[in-house]
Each structure stands twice: as structure tokens, then as C-alpha cells.
Amino acid sequence: MTPDLMDEGAERVSAYRQHAPKGRTESGGRKAGFARPVVPGEVDTTHGRILYLEDVCVSFDGFRAINKLSLDIAPGELRCIIGPNGAGKTTMMDIITGKTRPDTGSVFFGSTIDLLRYKEAEIAQLGIGRKFQKPTVFEQLTVYENLELALKTDKGVHASIFFQPDSEQSDRLAEVLRTIHLAESVNRLAGTLSHGQKQWLEIGMLLMQDPKLLLLDEPVAGMTDEETARTAELFLSLKGQHSLMVVEHDMSFIKTISEKVTVLHEGSVLAEGTLEQVQSDERVIEVYLGR
Ligand SMILES: Nc1ncnc2c1ncn2[C@@H]1O[C@H](COP(=O)(O)OP(=O)(O)OP(=O)(O)O)[C@@H](O)[C@H]1O
């Protein structure tokens, strides 16, 4: 490190010390970056990356499902992930969310949060929301109640019964209802919604937690064309405020929403670029798109 960089770092630390809120450590403990003051739990994206995987490997009974996988995502980016069945897309999401532990490699949320040190529930609390393929809403509750439930942090019976959203939470609820196109259906039982609406409601439940990164596994599978088009609009409206990683096989949907596409094959990145670029890549045609 050069002397001017060291001086710069020292200045930043000293400025932070003067303004540091009480109760926060200046180093952020194990989450600290070198010479960079970090607020614990805050995602540091100053290096332009919100998610960073490097050389990740996972084997199941000797079979390498993820093989030296390296990939990164920028804050606010909407990244599409495609690839043949068994390429490792779901396993990759399992690793990011702490469901599966890799054998080797590193996984960082921002430049300072080492996700491999956290449990699944903690990773969700850090701001990584995951939507599985099948909608999992509470069918016996209304749309409103489902969203309200997603707000509850204290899951105790007493706290749940007497929970009342404050005005900020009520505003957020109203905003999410508009975003997911369910403002008109607020009092409908979730069980009576269409498949697409259930998917949007579940996305809304994730949005209530204001996640920084959303992982979405085959979000438009089973949707009508109209629902698919609305979902594309929804995702385009979310990018920028949130980072999104979307795994999908529906290429026309990918075409509507994609900027950068990553193609996974046999547990690693086969190709990356615009949809046009990866679609014309011989290796991608060979293993995924067909001739
Ligand atoms: N828990 C497990 N035990 C054994 N093998 C597994 C396990 N999870 C995944 N695999 C294997 O790892 C490989 C990658 O699976 P994964 O589900 O991640 O692929 P995918 O790209 O999501 O596929 P699809 O598009 O079909 O959902 C597959 O060969 C799968 O059989």
C-alpha cells in the first residue's frame, strides 16, 4: 500500500471516529474491510459489487455439482442465470442463502460480509431474500394479512396477535401492494388468487423486508402470457432499488428483462454477456439452446 493510500485510510478512520454512532464499533469486528470503517450489518458496495463468489466448489457423494464457480453482481443489477437442467443453478442459490455449505471457495455479500460465516436465517436478515419456484403464501389469510405477517419480526404468539404496523410500515405495505399489482385485491383470501398473483404476493412478502438482493427461481413457470408480461414489468421496476438474480428457462421472458446473462454448465460459468452474445456462443448452443 502506498503512503498516500495509507494517509487517506487514516483520515477516513479518524473522520468516522468523530461521528461514529454510540454502540457501533469502528472496525465492525470480523466484517471489517482493511482500514475501512464499516457499520456492522451494512453491505459495503463501494467496490461496485453486492455479491461475489470465487472458486466455489460443492460435491454431493463425490459428484461435483458446483465446480470452481466465480461470479459477481453489481448493486441494482438484474442478472439472469440460464443453463441446462442439472447445471447447478439451484445449488448456487442454496450456497448464497446458506442452505448448502461449499467445500471450498468464498462467497461475499458486499466486500465485507463473508456469507459462509452465517446461518440461513441470519443471511435472510442481512438482506438476501429468496423466492422458490412454488408459491408459498398463507392461503387462509388475506393478501393484506400475508404482507402484514412478513413484517413481524417477533414471532411470539402474544406479539403476533397484538401486532399493529406503525405508520411507516403501513406506508410500505401500501407501496408494496401497488408494486405487486394487488392493491385491488387487498381483502381477498390468498387461496383464491391466480397462480401469478400468488407469485407476486410472495414477492411482495419478500419486499416487505426490503431485501438488498432477491434470488428468484423460475418465477414465471406456470404463468399465463399476461402474467409473465406483468412480472417482467415488476422486475424492471425493482431493479436499481434492489439487486435481482433470476433463474429462468423462459427465453422470451429473459429477452424482455435481461441486461447481462450468465450461462451455467456443469457447475461453472460457461458464458456471460448480453442475451444476443450468449445466444450466438457456439458452446452455449451446443449444451443448452440446441441447433
Ligand atoms: N442434495 C443433493 N444430493 C445429491 N445431488 C444433488 C443434490 N442437490 C443437487 N444435486 C445434483 O447436483 C446437480 C446440480 O443440481 P441443481 O438442482 O443445482 O441444477 P439446476 O441447474 O438447478 O437444474 P434445474 O434446471 O433442473 O433446476 C444435479 O446433477 C443434481 O442432481
- Partner residues linked to 131 by β-bridges: 216
C-alpha 122, offset from chain centre: 14
Atom 9 (ligand 1): residue with closest C-alpha? 91
pLDDT digits (tens, 9 = 90+) for 134-151: 888 999 999 999 999 888
Closest Cα partner for 108 from 70, 64, 79, 61? 70
Atom 2 (ligand 1): residue with closest C-alpha? 60
Report the separation in Å between the CA atom of 9 and the middle of ligand 1, taken as the mean of its atom positions.
Answer: 44
H or E segment and range at residue 104 = strand 104-109
Report the separation in Å between the CA atom of 90 and the middle of ligand 1, taken as the mean of its atom positions.
Answer: 7
Highest mean pLDDT among 13-27, 92-106, 146-160: 92-106
pLDDT at 33 over 60: no
Report the separation in Å between the CA atom of 89 and the middle of ligand 1, taken as the mean of its atom positions.
Answer: 8
Q: Are 262 and 269 spatial neighbours (Cβ–Cβ below 8 Å)?
A: yes
C-alpha distance from residue 23 to each of 26, 38, 93, 147 (Å): 10, 13, 34, 32
Atom 1 (ligand 1): residue with closest C-alpha? 60
Q: Which CATH number fits domain 42-289: 3.50.50.60, 3.30.70.520, 3.30.70.1560, 3.40.50.300?
A: 3.40.50.300
Atom 6 (ligand 1): residue with closest C-alpha? 60
Report the separation in Å between the CA atom of 86 and the middle of ligand 1, taken as the mean of its atom positions.
Answer: 5
φ, ψ for residue 4, nearest 5 deg: -65, -35
Q: Average pLDDT, stretch 174-201? A: 95
Report the separation in Å between the CA atom of 248 and the middle of ligand 1, taken as the mean of its atom positions.
Answer: 15
Lowest-confidence pick of 27-36, 68-77, 195-204: 27-36
Atom 11 (ligand 1): residue with closest C-alpha? 65
pLDDT at 254 over 60: yes
Confidence (pLDDT) at 32: 42
pLDDT at 228 over 80: yes
From CA 33, how far away is CA 155, in angstroms rounded?
34
Between 275 and 24, the more confident residue is 275
Confidence of residue 229 (pLDDT cuts 50, 70, 90): very high
* CA geometry: angle 212, 130, 134, nearest 5 deg: 150
Between 245 and 2, the more confident residue is 245
Atom 30 (ligand 1): residue with closest C-alpha? 86
User: Ligand 1 test: best mutation among 64, 80, 89, 96, most atoms within 8 Å of CB?
Assistant: 89
**Cell (9 digits) for 141:** 389469510
Confidence (pLDDT) at 34: 47
Q: What is the mean pLDDT of the chain?
A: 86
Confidence of residue 165 (pLDDT cuts 50, 70, 90): confident
Atom 3 (ligand 1): residue with closest C-alpha? 60
pLDDT at 24 over 80: no
From CA 201, how far away is CA 137, in angstroms rounded?
7
Report the separation in Å between the CA atom of 231 and the middle of ligand 1, taken as the mean of its atom positions.
Answer: 26
Atom 26 (ligand 1): residue with closest C-alpha? 85
Percent of the chain with pLDDT over 70: 81
- Partner residues linked to 232 by β-bridges: none
Residue type, 215: L
Ligand 1 atom nearest to CA at 91: 18
User: Ligand 1 test: best mutation among 53, 60, 266, most atoms within 8 Å of CB?
Assistant: 60
Confidence (pLDDT) at 249: 92
Q: Which residues line ligand 1 (CB under 6 A)?
A: 60, 65, 83, 85-91
User: Measured between alpha carbons, how far apart are the two ends of the chain, in Å?
Assistant: 51
